[in-house]
Amino acid sequence: MNKVLHIVFLLVLWGLSTAAFAEKYRLTVNASPSNSQVRIMNISSRYYAGIKLAPGKYDVLVTKSGYSSNRQWIRVRNQDVSIRVVLKEKVKQQALYIMHVGGKRGYVNRDGRWVIQPKFGTAYGFSEGRAYVKVGGKYGFINKNGGWVVKPKFDDARSFSEGRAAVRVGDKWGYINKNGGWVVKPKFDSVSSFSEGCVDVKVGDKWGYINKNGGWVVKPKFDSTGSFSEGRASVRVGDKSGYINKNGGWVVKPKFDSASSFSEGLAVIRVGDKRDYINKNGGWVFKPKFDKAGLFFEGRATVKVGDKWGYINKNGGWVVKPKFDYAGNFHEGRVGVRVGDKWGYINKNGGWVVKPKFDYADSFHEGCAMVEVGDKSGYINKNGGWVVKPKSDFVASRFSEGRAEVKIDGKLALINKKGWIIPIEELERTQSSTSSDQSNSSSSESSSNAPGTLYFMTGSTCGKGNITVRNLDTTYRTENLDCCGFSGGQKEYYLSPGSYTLSYTITDCSKSPHSSSGVKFSIRANRQTVIELNMGDGYYHVK
């Protein structure tokens, strides 16, 4: 017996030593870009080039910010392995802004240059790389180059959401994909937009839900419905509302007088004349006690008790007890509130950022908010400082991707977050350069020699000075620059195509001089060149 045990023991030792000293092979991942991160997900060891691994399968993940990741299984057999992985850079589509000229709408880029000429009767913003536009009474879809994805043939349309867009033919609605192909041919009486893979649709007088392939999730049986949010959707049967999950099962059977969508894990419900919050399982967070209540945003919700508004946290504790005459939703850590007839801003702790002094205060977007003082409009930053001081005949909009669409003295323009005005390219010049298919060779030659436009802007800082534009070291033009005013200094020149250099000397209101020479730029026919100068830090930018 002892002899048998001894033999077994030796065999075990031999097996362990064989495993311990099994031959290993090198794995090398040659990634591009070279500073990509490489990880082997099914082992604890950290990857390094030429890491020694026993034969087997390895889950290799290569990542880099701004690039699509690559993940694949690599088998190591009885030799060294070297693989090459090239990551694809994520293409960020350019931001486009709707502008209208002479009753027609088109799209400009961040520099104010026309990308898609104004030729549509109605145009809407891009969503998922597509925008629906109206031509001759019918709707179609374009891409960001202005090419037709679907030529105008629909009687109505909606923006793309989760790869699907609702369109109407006659009195029935259906859904198309991003290539314009039918996913569900028109058969619904009313529709919504996809959310979390489902959408509520109406057939006759009842609502149900379909998935992205058009299959029924819940056949029509509800009197009204809401979109899915955080895995739940509010539905109404008769005069009571409840919640279903994405399989169509009841989470909370209808028992509320009204029910909102979920936000940050909570939803507002009404029982009688009081409102409160439930969690995603239908459990009460607090007992009904508020006269009005809003959804949670950034961990705060606005609620009304009596005739005043305040803010609570997600535990039901007061952040600000009711004292405002109106209160909005938090966005970017700030919210506009009204006391009497004046608006100000508070932070998430309830402290004043800007005490009430505005006649209107919008929510913050990309660090800026529109405000009104009397009949003047402007922008402030999150500390309450002016980005653009209030100006008459100034129509403002919210910032999106670093730009806001504005109208100044009746003229359309863009504005950046430093308050600099970006004029819209003049349509007449643009049309001459983009209509070569309708022009002969001689007119094309003429167009290539047409002047371009130079804008020199100095931001909203006050100052005075001069600039000199040189071409081949010959002085082309010198101008005095007075940059006191709404948009700072802004001078416009029409120059022949070619290469130029620029020098400037400007003294701001604090008597600090700013100067530079040898700023190089080019002028292209029928195009704008904008030179921006921030006198506060000596920054200039040519675009």
Rounded Cα distance, 515 and 525, in Å? 28
Final residue in a domain of this structure, among 41, 65, 86:
86
Supply the DSSP symbol for 130.
B
Total number of domains in the chain: 2
pLDDT in tens, 432-472: 434 433 333 333 333 444 445 555 554 433 344 455 554 43
Selection from 288, 316, 287, 289 nearest residue 300 by Cα: 316
Please check whether residue 501 lies inside any domain of the structure.
yes
CA dist list (Å): 170 to 157, 490, 524: 12, 51, 48
45, 64, 86 — which closes off a domain? 86
Mean pLDDT of the chain: 81
* DSSP3 helix / strand / coil % (the chain, rounded to 5): 5, 55, 35
3-state secondary structure 282-300: CCECCCCCECEECCCECCE
364: in domain:
no
Residue range 407-416, pLDDT digits in tens: 888 788 899 8
Cα→Cα distances 105→108, 114, 430, Å: 10, 11, 15
pLDDT at 134: 95
Per the domain annotation, does 135 fall within a domain?
Answer: no
| Confidence class for position 184, pLDDT limits 50, 70, 90 | very high
> Which residue from 177, 88, 186 is spatially nearest to 130, judged by alpha carbons?
177
* pLDDT computed for residue 64 by the predictor: 87
Looking at the predicted structure, is the pLDDT value of residue 529 above 90?
no
Place of tokens 């100006």: 391
Strands 233-237 and 240-244 come out as antiparallel
pLDDT value of position 103: 83
Question: Phi, psi at residue 173, to the nearest 5°?
Answer: -110, 150
Which of 86, 112, 137 is where one domain is finished? Answer: 86
What is the arrangement of strands in the sheet containing 165-169, beginning at the earlier edge strand? Answer: 156-157, 165-169, 172-176, 182-188
- pLDDT of 213-223, one tens digit each? 999 999 999 99
Residue 526: per-residue pLDDT:
47
Please say whether the beta carbons of 44 and 67 come within 8 A.
no
pLDDT of 138 > 90? The answer is yes
Residue 525 lies in a domain: yes
Residue 94 has which token pair?
Answer: 């350019």
Supply the DSSP symbol for 282: S
267 inside domain: no
Q: CA-CA distance, 357 to 363, in Å (whole number)?
A: 15
pLDDT at residue 439, rounded to an integer: 35
pLDDT of residue 437: 35
| Closest listed residue to residue 60, CA positions, set 77, 84, 78 | 84
Q: Which domain holds residue 31?
A: 22-86
Establish how many alpha carbons lie within 13 A of residue 150's alpha carbon, considering only the half-sphere containing its beta carbon.
27
Give the pLDDT confidence of 261-287 residue by residue, as tens digits: 999 999 999 999 999 999 999 998 877
Vertex 317: Cα angle to 265 and 344 (nearest 5): 90
pLDDT of residue 484: 33
Q: Is residue 268 part of a domain?
A: no
Q: What is the pTM of this model?
A: 0.64
Read off the pLDDT of residues 366-382 as tens digits, 9 standing for 90 and up: 999 999 999 889 999 99
Numbers of helices and strands, H then E, in the chain: 3, 52
Residue 486 within any structural domain of the chain: yes
Q: Residue 49 belongs to a domain with what CATH number? A: 2.60.40.10
Q: Is residue 523, in this structure, part of any structural domain at all?
A: yes
